[in-house]
């Protein structure tokens, strides 16, 4: 997998929890949570993660999980709207503008607080694949790094404030 190779090339530690090897979503969530906590992970970033996290992971990382969704939420989002399905729905609806949204994850699929959005024009002649590529290049890949940086900066400020107050 390309992401794992890129991480290895950059000297970044990785861990993989395969959903398909877990006998159910609760077991997957337990395994994922264990890996996150054992590695002292502070922020979880979902990019291309085409699954819904369970309540135990969401509760443990409340306000610390970011997801990038390939539409302008609240349009074309929620359960069943992922990957090319989003872009197919956008084209079927005939909208002129779509985009991407970075949001905090909560118990409602694509229902968390919106952190950032960027619009992308739909072109005549687009198919789902070309539209997906444009949304990734013009919106997702630009929004997500900034949103992660902002969340980390906010958490660092909060941590300093808590330490000063003795919390």
Residues in the chain: 167
What is the enclosing helix (H) or strand (E) of 117? strand 114-121
**The residue to which tokens 């024009």 are assigned:** 121
pLDDT-derived band at 163, boundaries 50, 70, 90: low
Own/partner long-range contacts of 140-144 (Cβ < 8 Å, ≥24 apart): 140/47, 140/68, 140/70, 140/100, 142/118, 143/68, 143/100, 143/101, 143/102, 143/116, 143/117, 143/118, 144/45, 144/47, 144/66, 144/68, 144/102
Residue 114 — φ and ψ, nearest 5°?
A: -75, 130
For the chain, percent of residues with pLDDT exceeding 90? 83
**Helical pair 128-135 and 84-93, crossing angle rounded to 10 deg:** 110
What confidence tens digit (pLDDT) does each residue in 25-35 have? 999 999 999 99
pLDDT-derived band at 2, boundaries 50, 70, 90: confident
pLDDT-derived band at 165, boundaries 50, 70, 90: low
What confidence tens digit (pLDDT) does each residue in 54-113 have? 999 999 999 999 999 999 999 999 989 999 999 999 999 999 999 999 999 999 999 999
Range 152-164 average pLDDT: 81
Strand partners, 98: 120
Over its C-alpha atoms, the chain yields an Rg (Å, rounded) of 17
Instruction: Give DSSP secondary structure letters for 48-69.
Output: S--SPPPHHHHHHTTT-EEEEE
Yes or no: say if 28 and 22 are a contact pair by the CB < 8 Å rule.
yes
pLDDT of res. 19: 87
Yes or no: say if 69 and 108 are a contact pair by the CB < 8 Å rule.
no
Helices marked H in the chain: 2-9, 25-38, 55-60, 84-93, 128-135, 141-165
Q: What is the pTM of this model?
A: 0.90
The pLDDT of residue 119 is above 60: yes
CATH superfamily entry for domain 43-165: Formyl transferase, N-terminal domain (3.40.50.170)
pLDDT of res. 100: 98
Provide the mean pLDDT of the chain: 94
Report, as residue numbers or ranges, the catalytic residues.
Answer: 69
Write out the residue limits of the CATH 3.40.50.170 domain(s) in the chain.
43-165
Range 30-42 average pLDDT: 96
pLDDT of res. 160: 73
CA atoms within 13 A on the CB side of 167: 7
């Amino acid at each position: 997998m390309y992401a794992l190779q890129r991480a290895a090339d950059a000297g970044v530690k990785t861990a993989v929890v395969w959903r398909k090897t877990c006998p159910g979503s609760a077991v997957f969530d337990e395994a994922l949570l264990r890996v996150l906590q054992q590695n002292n992970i502070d922020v979880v970033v979902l990019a291309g993660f085409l699954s819904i996290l369970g309540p135990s992971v969401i509760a443990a990382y409340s306000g610390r999980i970011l997801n990038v969704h390939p539409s302008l939420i609240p349009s074309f989002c929620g359960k069943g709207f992922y990957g090319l399905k989003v872009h197919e729905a956008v084209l079927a609806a005939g909208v002129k503008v779509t985009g991407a949204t970075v949001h905090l994850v909560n118990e409602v699929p694509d229902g968390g607080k919106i952190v950032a959005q960027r619009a992308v024009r739909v072109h005549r002649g687009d198919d789902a694949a070309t539209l997906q590529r444009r949304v990734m290049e013009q919106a997702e890949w630009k929004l997500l790094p900034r949103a992660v940086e902002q969340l980390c900066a906010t958490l660092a400020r909060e941590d300093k404030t808590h330490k000063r107050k003795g919390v």
